[in-house]
Amino acid sequence: MFLWIPLGLLSFAFGCVWAIMLLANGIRARLLWGLCIMAVAMAFSIIPLMDWLDHDSASNWQMPRETLGPVFLGLSLAFGGICLLIGLAIGRKVIRWLLMVLLPPRLRSPLAMFWLADGLKPPSTK
């Protein structure tokens, strides 16, 4: 359970990075890319799932792993996917806010593309 906090934060940050990398795309295209990323993650998660379900239940720890493992794997993928999609949806606003807070005005003007991509007025140099 405590691993979901870093999972959520990293998924949100990853979504923000992808929102900037997909600068020319609208929100629908970004969310579609997020679903594609989650589909790849689900494809890779089949590997441990097949291992969990393939073994015989010979030991005491194998049965809980077989029953609870897929449930928590699915919940973790869903939580990470939701955080990723939230990061993709609001990531540009977060990055623009960070640029406004962290950079002085004269250093913001070369990064005006982050404002112009969403049809906003670029930051002033004053």
Domain count, the chain: 1
Whether 75 is in a domain gets the answer: yes
Whether 96 is in a domain gets the answer: no
Whether 115 is in a domain gets the answer: no
Containing domain of residue 71, as a range?
4-91
pTM for this entry: 0.81
Quote the percentage of the chain above a pLDDT of 90: 37
Whether 76 is in a domain gets the answer: yes
What residues have CB less than 8 Å from 80, skipping those under 6 apart?
A: 7, 8, 11, 38, 41
Check whether 13 has a pLDDT greater than 70: yes
Tell me the average pLDDT of the chain: 86
Per-residue pLDDT band at 59 (split at 50, 70, 90): low
Check whether 125 has a pLDDT greater than 70: yes
Whether 53 is in a domain gets the answer: yes
Cβ(18)–Cβ(91) under 8 Å? Answer: yes
Helical H runs in the chain?
A: 4-21, 27-54, 62-102, 105-108, 113-116
Whether 97 is in a domain gets the answer: no
Whether 112 is in a domain gets the answer: no
Whether 65 is in a domain gets the answer: yes
Measured CA to CA, the distance from residue 121 to residue 114 in angstroms comes to 10
* pLDDT confidence of residue 1: 64
